């Protein structure tokens, strides 16, 4: 059974340092028909029961939303990842 989980920034940093996080995805999380663009982060882990999950706000435990792509990239770099390319489909 594959379970999803969530990480706060502090938890993500600790799991990255322990070698448990294997990757990230920054995705457009804009509300439909809103007109603005927002970004969120999904993290991948190598734990067998974890397929991946969202970076969340420490207080609300809701998906952390970034107003700019630069802010989302800064967050994944603070976790410890090297964000060096941007790809699209």
Q: Where are the alpha helices (DSSP H) in 18-89?
A: 69-79
Question: What residue segments make up the domains of the chain, in order of their start?
Answer: 3-79
pTM for this structure?
0.85
* Average pLDDT of the residues in 2-29: 88
Q: What ranges make up the beta strands (E) of 19-89?
A: 21-28, 39-45, 50-55
* Average pLDDT of the residues in 74-82: 95
State the burial class of residue 85 (Cβ atoms within 10 Å of its Cβ: 0-12, 13-18, 19+).
exposed
Q: Are 23 and 15 in contact (CB under 8 A)?
A: no
* Average pLDDT of the residues in 4-10: 89
pLDDT, one tens digit per residue, over 28-67 is 998 876 778 999 999 998 775 666 799 999 999 999 999 9
80 or 51, higher pLDDT: 80
17 sits in which H/E element = helix 9-17
pLDDT at 1: 40
């Amino acid at each position: 059974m594959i379970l999803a989980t969530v990480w706060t920034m502090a938890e993500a940093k600790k799991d990255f340092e322990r070698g448990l996080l294997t990757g990230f995805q920054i995705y457009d999380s804009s509300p439909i028909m809103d007109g603005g663009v927002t970004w969120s982060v999904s993290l991948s882990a190598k734990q067998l029961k974890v397929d991946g999950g969202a970076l969340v706000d420490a207080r609300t435990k809701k998906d952390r939303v970034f107003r700019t792509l630069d802010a989302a990239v800064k967050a994944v770099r603070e976790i410890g990842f090297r964000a060096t390319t941007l790809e699209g489909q």
